[in-house]
Amino acid sequence: MIPVKQDVEMALAENIENLLHKACEKIAPTWPLDEFIAVNPFWKMRNESIDQVSSKLSALAQVQCLMPASYYLQQWQQGKIKEKHLQRAASLMGSKETNKNLLAVVKQQSDLPHWHHISDLLDSGRDRQHKMAWRDEITHQISQFCAAYFQKDGPVNPTRLGESKNLYEQWLWVVQKDKGIAILMDEARLNDYFKQLPDNEESLIARALMDLQVSEIAIEDYAHALLLDINGWASWIAYLNWQKDLGQSENNVPSMMSLLAIRMAWEWVLWQYHNDEYPHLGRKLSHMWQKEQASLPQLIRQHEDLQKTLWVWQRAMELAYQEQIAEQLLANNESKDLQSAKIERPKLQAAFCIDVRSEVIRRALESQNSDIQTLGFAGFFGLPIEYSPLGSQRSRKQLPGLLAPSIRAELDSFARHEQEQKASRGYNSQARYQEWSQSSAASFSMVEAGGWMYAFKLLKQSFWPSKKSDSMVPDNHSWVLKTGHRSLTREEKSNLAATILKAMGLTHNIAPSVLLVGHGVQCSNNPHAAGLECGACGGQSGEVNVRVLAQLLNDSRVREDMAQFDINIPLETQFIAALHNTTTDEIRILSEGHTLRLEMQEWLQNAQVLAQQERAVRLKLDASDERLSQYIEQRTKDWSQVRPEWGLANNAAFIIAPRDMSQSVDLQGRAFLHDYDWQKDQDGSLLRTIMTAPMVVTNWINMQYNASVWDNHKYGSGNKVLHNVVGGNIGVFEGNGGDLRIGLPMQSIHDGENWQHQAMRLSVFIRAPRERIEQIIETESVVSDLVKNGWLHLLQISDDGKNVAQFALNQWHEMGVDTIEH
C-alpha cells in the first residue's frame, strides 16, 4: 500500500504545547570551541533535586550522574569513606537505611531496565548481523544534517542558499531527496514515508503524538528522552537561543521544537512503515509501545529507589572531603593571631583569578616573603567587556557566559596601526594555518598533508621551543572604552574603577606594586584549548582584561576621584598587568615601562619553580630534575601531547573568606579562592554578588567536570585523538559521525590509569553571619535552587573562625572542631 500524504494542518493543544516546551527547556547550552567554557549540563533542571534529575535521566537515557557502586566500595576499602561518614550522610539526607543495608546494596547493585523509543523496540528484533541499527542511523543522519546546516558555508545552510526554511523544513527537504537511507537500511520503500511527513513542525508533532497514541502523562518525558538522543546538537541550539536571550545574536535562531520535530518524525516514519509493510511486526510493536508507556512511572521509581543508596555513598565521600578542609582551615586559624599576622602595608600585592590553578601559584608566591599579599577575584576582573582581536571580524566576549558585555574595549588608533603592520608581516597566514588545523580533517593528521617541511617545524618547536610571546595585543598601546558609539565619561570610568577596587578589597594599605594577574594557557594542536583558558573571560586569556584594568587604575584623573569613594591609592602605587601561564606557571609582566625590583622578579621565578615541582607529580615528571622547566616548556609545543596540563580537574571547594583563613594551607590546587571580609560588607551586597555570580560559575565548572566523569559518552567528548572539528568551531565529532560531542575529552580527566578528577559536588565555605547567607538563599532563586536541590553544598565558617556548619534539610548542622576526628 502506497502511503497517502494528509495535507490537513494540525495544531497542538495548549496544555500539550506547554509540556513540550518544558521538555525543550531542560537542555543546557554548549559553547563553541573558540569560546569553550565549562557548563553545568543539568543547569536547566536545577529547579529539581539532583537525585530526582539523576534517576529520571538514568531511566530515560541511561545517563549516569553517579560513580559505579564499585568505585564507592573501593573508597570504603581504602579507608577514605568511613562508617561515621555514612552515618552522618544518611542523617543529613533524612535516610533511614542502616550502614549494613547500604553496604549490601553497593555490593549487589544490578542493571535496571530503561526507556525504549520506537526505534529501540524495533532494534531489539532487528537482524543486527546483516542490518544497521535504527538508532545508529537516526543519530548519524540527524547529526550530519545539522553539521551541514549550522556550518556557515555548509551545503544546506539556509543563509548560504538564500532560503528562509527553518530547521525542520530544511531537514524535510533534504531527507525527502535522500534515496540512500532506504538502500543503507535495506528497506526499499522507506523514502515514500518521508514524503508523507507534514510540511511544518507543529503539524508533525501533533500527528505523531496522535498516531503514536502517546499518553499525556508521558509526553514531557518522551520528548525529553528524544532530545537526549541528540543531546549534542540540542545543546548547540540551546546555546544559540541563550545568546539570543542575551541580545547577542539574531532573532531567527532555530528552535528546540524544530529539532524535536525532526527526531519525532523518525519515530513516526518507522511506526507507519512497519505497520504498513510488516503488519505482524506492527501489531507486536504497538503492544510493546503501549507497555513501554504504561511502565514509565514505575521505571523511574525503580531507578530512584536504587540510587537513593548510592547518593548516600556519594554524600559520605563529599563529607570526608569537607571534614578534611574544615579541619585544615580551623587549625590554621587557631594557630595564628589574625591581628598580628596582617601586614600593615605589603611590598607587593598580586590579584589572581579564583581559578583552582591559582591556589598553587599563590601559595608558592606567598612563601617567598611575608611582605607579599595575594588576593582572589573573578578572572575577568569585574570588566564587562568585549574586544575585537587582530584579524577577527567579530567581537570576543571577555566575561562569563552568564553575562552580556556592556563595554567595548578598543585599541587606540596608533595601536591599531601597529596591529595592521603585524598582520602584514604574517599574522594573517598564521590565522589561516590555524583555521586549517581546525578544519574537518583530524588535526592530529595535519603533518601528513603538510609534508616533511612542516614536520621539521614541529620537531623544532617540540625540542627547541621558542619563548616568544603569543600575545596578539601590542605592548605599546592604550585602550578606549566605549558604550554604544561613545567613549566612557570620566565619571563612568571612576565608578567602574571604584566598584572593582571595593570588590577586590583594595581600598587602603595598597602596596607600591600591585600585580593584576590574568591567566592563559600555552598548548598546541588542541581544539579544546579555550577550555583551559579563563572561564570567567569567556574561554579567553585574561590578558585583555588586566591590561585594560591596569590602564584604568593608573589613570591620574580616575585616581583623583577615588577619594570620594573612600579609596586611598598612594601616589607611588602602580598597577601592573601580568599573565599567569597555567601550563608553565610563569608569571609574565605585560605592562610596558613597569619593571619590578630585582627581588620581586626573583620571587616570581622562585614561585614558578615551586609550582612546577608541585604539579610535576600529576604530570608524571620528576620534580627533582633540574631540567623540569625545560620538559614542561617542551610539552607546550608538542603537537602530539594530549595532556598539556590538567586544567581545573579535581576541583572540589570554593572558599569565600579572608585569605588569612587559608593562607599556607595546602589545598592541593582543588579550591577556588575568593577574598571576602564580611565586616567590610555592611549591607551584604558584595556577598550577594559573589553568591549569584562567581559561585554560579564555579558550579558550572564543577558540574562540567563531574558530568564528564560520570558519563563521558553523553556529557563528555571522548577520545581527543579521534576528534574532527565541526563547522569551524561549533564542536567536535569523535571520528566522522555520531552526535556532536560536548564536554571534556577523556584525556582532560583521566591519565590512562586513574581518574584525575574526583567527581564531587562543590563544597562552598563562606565566612559570614548565617543570617546574611540565609537571606541570600531565600531571596535569590538561582542560589536557592542550587543549595536546596543539592547541586552544591553550602558551609558556613563562624564569625570567630572556630566552627563550621553545613546547610542541609533547610537548617544548619554544626561541624565544629570537636566533631571532626583527627
DSSP 8-class letter at 593: T
Q: How many residues does the chain have?
A: 822
Q: How confident is the model at residue 524 (pLDDT cuts 50, 70, 90)?
A: confident
- pLDDT tens for each residue of 726-737: 998 999 999 988
Q: Are strands 804-808 and 396-397 parallel, antiparallel or unpaired?
A: unpaired
Query: In this model, does residue 363 exceed pLDDT 70?
Result: yes
How high is the pLDDT of residue 7?
Answer: 59
| pLDDT of the residue at 128 | 77
Residue 577 Rama label (left phi>0; alpha psi -120 to 50; beta):
beta
pTM here?
Answer: 0.92
Which residues face 744 on adjacent strands? 716
Give pLDDT, residue 454: 45
Per-position DSSP letters for 594-660, written without gaps between them:
----HHHHHHHHHHHHHHHHHHHTTTT--TT-TTHHHHHHHHHH-TT-S-S--TTTT--EEEES-GG
Higher confidence at residue 434 or residue 119?
119
Q: What is the pLDDT of residue 126?
A: 85
Contact between 646 and 756 under an 8 Å Cβ cutoff? The reply is yes
Strands 479-483 and 486-487: antiparallel
User: Is the per-residue pLDDT at 465 higher than 70?
Assistant: no
Cell readout for 415 is 595601536
Range name among 142-156, 197-211, 339-353, 649-663 with the lowest pLDDT average: 339-353
Residue 432: pLDDT band (50, 70, 90) is: very low
CB proximity list for 527: less than 8 A, separation 6 or greater: 33, 438, 443, 720, 723, 725, 732
* C-alpha neighbours within 13 Å on the C-beta side of residue 148: 14
Q: Which of 470, 665, 465, 659 is nearest to 581 (CA)?
A: 470
Rounded mean pLDDT of the chain?
Answer: 89
**Cα 671 to Cα 659: distance, rounded to the nearest angstrom:** 12
Residue 519 assigned ligand-binding role: yes
Q: Which has the higher per-residue pLDDT, 604 or 108? A: 604
Decide which of 428 and 565 is more confident: 565
Query: How far apart are alpha carbons 231 and 63 in whole angstroms?
Result: 11
What secondary structure does DSSP assign to 27-94, as a single string? PPP---GGG-----TTGGGTTS-HHHHHHHHHHHH----S--HHHHHHHHHTTSS-HHHHHHHHHHHT
Per DSSP bridges, beta strands 731-734 and 723-726 are antiparallel
Spatial separation of the C-alpha atoms in residues 212 and 198, rounded to whole Å: 15
Q: Band of the pLDDT at 236, cuts 50, 70, 90?
A: very high
Tell me the mean pLDDT in the region 265-292: 96
Q: Which residue has the higher pLDDT, 454 or 233?
A: 233
CB atoms under 10 Å from CB of 152, counted, come to: 10
The torsion of the CA quartet 543, 549, 554, 559, rounded to 10 degrees, works out to -170
Which residue ranges form the domains of the chain, and what is each CATH number? 14-40+143-294 (no CATH), 348-410+482-608 (3.40.1050)
User: Is the separation of the CB atoms in 603 and 610 below 8 Å?
Assistant: no
Lowest mean pLDDT among 32-41, 95-104, 675-684: 95-104
Grade residue 239 by pLDDT with cuts at 50, 70 and 90. very high
What are the distances in angstroms from CA 104 to CA 81, 86, 107, 306? 15, 13, 5, 12
Distances from the Cα of 812 to the Cα of 315, 329, 713, 806, 807, angstroms: 16, 19, 37, 5, 5
DSSP-derived secondary structure letter, 371: T
Looking at residue 450, what is its pLDDT?
A: 46
Q: In what order do the strands lie in the sheet with 486-487?
A: 396-397, 385-387, 407-411, 479-483, 486-487
355 is in an annotated binding site: yes
Contact 623, 613 (CB under 8 A): yes
The pLDDT of 766-792, averaged and rounded, is 98
Interatomic CA distance for residues 402 and 748, integer angstroms? 24
What band does 418 get if pLDDT is binned at 50, 70 and 90?
low
477: nearest Cα among 537, 566, 611, 387: 387
Tens digits of per-residue pLDDT, 299-332?
999 999 989 989 999 999 999 999 999 999 999 9
pLDDT value of position 249 = 76
Please say whether the beta carbons of 554 and 575 come within 8 A. Answer: yes
| Beta bridge partner(s), residue 656 | 674, 766
- Non-local (6+) Cβ contacts of 626 within 8 A are none
Q: How confident is the model at residue 437 (pLDDT cuts 50, 70, 90)?
A: very low
Grid cell in block for residue 184: 543503507
Query: What confidence score (pLDDT) does residue 252 get?
Result: 81
pLDDT at 499: 97
Instruction: Choose between 476 and 271: higher pLDDT.
Output: 271
Q: Taking Cα atoms as reference points, which of 234, 229, 166 lies closest to residue 30?
A: 234
pLDDT 10s digits, 603-653: 999 999 999 999 999 999 998 888 999 989 988 888 888 888 999 999 999
| pLDDT for residue 822 is more than 50 | no
- For 486, phi then psi, to 5°, come to -125, 160
Q: What is the CA radius of gyration of the chain?
A: 28
